[in-house]
Structure formats: C-alpha cells, structure tokens
Amino acid sequence: EEALAAKAEHPTAVPIAGGTDVMVEINFDHRRPEYLLDLNRIGELSEWEVGQESVRLGASVPYSSIMEHLRAELPGLALASHTVASP
C-alpha cells in the first residue's frame, strides 16, 4: 500500500528492486529518472514457493537464491537464472 501511495504521488517514479535493468540503463545514461521507488523492503517480493505444478517467484528473489535453493528441483530455471544477470 505504501509503494502504491508513493507511486501515486510520483507517477514518473521508476520502481527498483534488484536494480539489474534500471541500474544498467542509468549507468549507461539511457535513463535519468527523477525518482526511484525502492521496493526492497516489501518482503513478499523476496519469497518463492514451489507447488505440485507451479512455481511462484517474487520479483525481488535474487538470481543467486534461485540457483542455490531451486537447483535440485528446477535445474532448467537455475541454469537460466545463471545466464540472465549478475547475482
């Protein structure tokens, strides 16, 4: 709710959690947002759950966690996580 209120107050704010994509754009001067909306303190975004037929990954689950904790159950996902970005 707090993040939605902040976004409503600053509609141009760019949400950032891990920062992989946003920080690359900023570092290469492809984007200069006036505001960044830090989502790192939203605990639910860092959670994951493996069900019988599904996997739910929060948007802030680090690639390193996927590689470490889900490698045995989901080797393809762990491998893909390794190739996407830095931990």
Segments in the chain below pLDDT 70: 85-87
Q: Mean of the per-residue pLDDT values for the chain? A: 88
User: What is the structure's pLDDT at 17?
Assistant: 84
Q: What are phi and psi of 28, to 5 degrees?
A: -95, 10
For residue 28, give its domain range: 1-41
pLDDT tens digit sequence for 42-65: 888 889 898 999 999 988 888 888
- How many domains does the chain divide into? 2
Q: Taking a C-beta distance cutoff of 8 angstroms, is the pair 3, 39 a contact?
A: yes
* One domain for residues 33 and 9: yes
User: What is the structure's pLDDT at 12?
Assistant: 95
* One domain for residues 48 and 87: yes
* One domain for residues 47 and 85: yes
* One domain for residues 9 and 37: yes
Q: pTM of the full predicted structure? A: 0.65
User: What is the structure's pLDDT at 9?
Assistant: 95
Q: Which two tokens stand for residue 24?
A: 């690359």
* One domain for residues 37 and 51: no
* One domain for residues 51 and 85: yes
* One domain for residues 32 and 72: no
User: What is the structure's pLDDT at 8?
Assistant: 95
